[in-house]
Amino acid sequence: MTRVLASKLIEAVCEALELNQRYVNEMLKLDSSFQMFAANYYPRCSQPDQAIGIPPHTDPGFFTFLIHNGVSGLQIELDGKWFNSDSPKNSILVNAADQLEIFTNGRCKSVKHRAVVNEERERISIVVANGPSGDAVIGPATALVEKDGRAKYCAMKYEEYVESQLTKSRIGGKSILEQQMIFPAN
Q: What is the DSSP string of 163-178?
A: HHHHH-S-BTTB-HHH
**Which residues lie closer than 8 Å to 178 by C-beta, 6 or more apart?**
none
Helix 2-16 with 21-28: angle, nearest 10 deg: 130
DSSP helix, strand, coil percent of the chain (3-state; round to 5): 30, 30, 40
% the chain with pLDDT above 70: 94
Cross-sheet strand order for the sheet of 113-115: 54-57, 113-115, 74-78, 81-84
Mean pLDDT of the chain: 88
User: Residue 65: which H helix or E strand, with range?
Assistant: strand 63-68
Instruction: Give the SS3 label for residue 10.
Output: helix
Count of beta carbons in the 10 Å neighbourhood of residue 74: 23
Instruction: Looking at 38-180, list the stretches that DSSP marks H as alpha helix, in order from N- to C-terminal side.
Output: 98-103, 142-148, 158-167, 176-180
pLDDT, tens only, 17-40: 999 988 888 888 877 888 889 999
Q: What is the pLDDT of residues 58-73, one digit of tens each?
A: 999 999 999 988 888 9
CATH for 2-180, options being 3.30.450.20, 3.20.20.10, 2.60.120.330, 3.40.50.300: 2.60.120.330
How many helices (H) and strands (E) the chain has is answered by 6, 10
Per domain, the residue ranges of the chain are 2-180
Q: Name the pTM for this structure.
A: 0.89
- What is residue 90's predicted lDDT score, i.e. its pLDDT? 73
